[in-house]
Amino acid sequence: MAEVYYPALIRSTLHRHNLTTGVNLYETGYNHQLRGNLAAGFHDYGVLWTPNALVFCLDGVAFQTIETNPTGLTMQIAHVRVVGLS
């Protein structure tokens, strides 16, 4: 979901891999630079997955949106873990 680099850089990336043919490999990602030190406390990292986009969030605030609505693409998911919000 996110790669976090000390002290305050978050890298969010979307990969597209065709495992059958090994072609059409694609990756897009973004760096989100923060002030301060992420290691100084605990944080909630999340992704809101909609039919048209992945919205990456830190502590409930969106910091990056990657649109995922190109025609002809599908997404196959092997495992999803859902955690309830309290």
Give pLDDT, residue 27.
75
Q: Domain range for residue 23? A: 3-67
User: What is d(CA 15, CA 47) in angstroms, rounded to the nearest whole number?
Assistant: 15
**73 part of a folded domain:** no
pLDDT tens-digit series, residues 24-46 = 667 778 899 999 999 999 999 88
**53 part of a folded domain:** yes
**17 part of a folded domain:** yes
* Total domain count, the chain: 1
pTM (2 d.p.): 0.70
**74 part of a folded domain:** no
**23 part of a folded domain:** yes
**16 part of a folded domain:** yes
Q: Following DSSP, what letter does each residue of 24-77 receive, concatenated?
A: --EEEEEEEE-SS-GGGS---EEEEE-SSEEEEEETTEEEEEEE---TT-----
**79 part of a folded domain:** no
